[in-house]
Structure 1
């Protein structure tokens, strides 16, 4: 459960999320929750049939519900919406923003900012931040404690860096970007060449370009390009502990779940989904809207709209059939041994 300081009414919710309110007047709302944890101030949602009993038993005062399912919840206060879960999430996002204590724009006295840097209006720069030469920081951005911004970095408006984010030189970051703690943007790509028994470092002189509204969660790494840019497209969301190698190009609105690893020069189209621990070999292309299941190993290009799974990755339906077949391997093996013994006896 999340309790907010700001209380709201059903009319506030309709104004933010749309939909139609059916229920009592003058109710006050202060929290969002799962049905089991809700109290008499809570808002919840219901979409899936299997949760109906829990929703009916919940003391929540207001429920997001699809109009076609309203008859299942008689005498309850309902927001009728064609997409209850999405509307609920929109409410939570708005409520957090209304409730948040935004830092007052200031530059903390312990921050170190080079005189050549340009800082926009309404920016908050927290304790012990460092901003290097020729940086450009857009309006209303927030840099929490101990962020390091190297030379020649540009960061757009309303971008939020949580504590201990490190941005290497020449990085370009757009508007409305969120980068969580421990993330490193623009470190050298992992490039070496073996000559005369010695691993020689390949200079990494490219950069990283991150478009608007990207979110990168904690402890992830995006390497700079060798000669050109590592690129992350607008609206892409990257989970914790993700590695993006040098020269990768990621399209718009992709989802990369925890512990995904992209080797250098991987190209992802738009709306690609990579589940947890997917590994992609270098110089491969994954087409628009492709989806890859957890722990898959990708060793070949994947076409647009494909569904792949397994290691090495293959079409998901085929891999599912293989998994089902594996359950019968002990019986198949015993049958094989009997047949082999029978053939030996006959000879």
Structure 2
């Protein structure tokens, strides 16, 4: 039995002298939810197209259950695909849309009927099997597309920005449905999105693409807490990125000079004098009165440039005398009294050394 269900090795796709995908390698476990995340043009969709057979690699290889996919046309790869635009047949009912892949494989009619009934139950559409796509909501159409991709029991399910056309509330509902299906049925899913929150919520692991390459492949928590590059720190969630210079080390801490003397964890080797960036997430920062922060913590003193009330949290923008800005996000916890600073208030923003990362500048 294959150790991995899917393996890509040194995968490249070249268009007119441009590498859309450049030496991409990864392996995917059976039953895993793997998300390919990145901005537009980063290579994630092209990678998905090469797995599905809709595009051919310029070089490199793709294995499914240790068997090469390259020689096989798309319809013989035993892979289901769900697109953003659903690609439903408008002249066919829900039942006929879902049955189509089985009919194309010449499955017996009795088995088609049983499988379609089963998969429509799974996606919660058993009561609309005689409707046409135009009679369905966007969320229902997306679930029909999902049922059609699942009905022939593929080894792998590929999903290309499947929720991009849905509104926020419906998108969150479908996310929950997808996670439930993945958990209960153990489906192996490769999911493409540019939505960082979607990737963090749904995935077992995330591959972050940038300029045709994978910059980091890890769990959502590890990517958020320990971004491997400045691009990832800036792309995933919100980060404060403070330009600094390295002035020394102290054990596992890197000592830097920027808005003030600060410390942080350095995931890669840095030398004295190197130009770097100290990265800290807004939710790790607390805002207090000047001089009231704990000794030894990283800190920036200045005034509140703006305060935005967000219901369960307050967002402060603190700026120092040199014009360096820092965004802090403080949770409003019931029963816990915190100072409520207004614009112009003199404050100190502080955070733990361990919450800071020191990364090389681009």
Q: TM-score range by the shorter chain?
A: under 0.3
Please report the TM-score for the alignment, with normalisation by the length of structure 1.
0.25
Q: Which has the higher helix share?
A: 2
Rg bigger for which structure? 1
Please report the TM-score for the alignment, with normalisation by the length of structure 2.
0.25
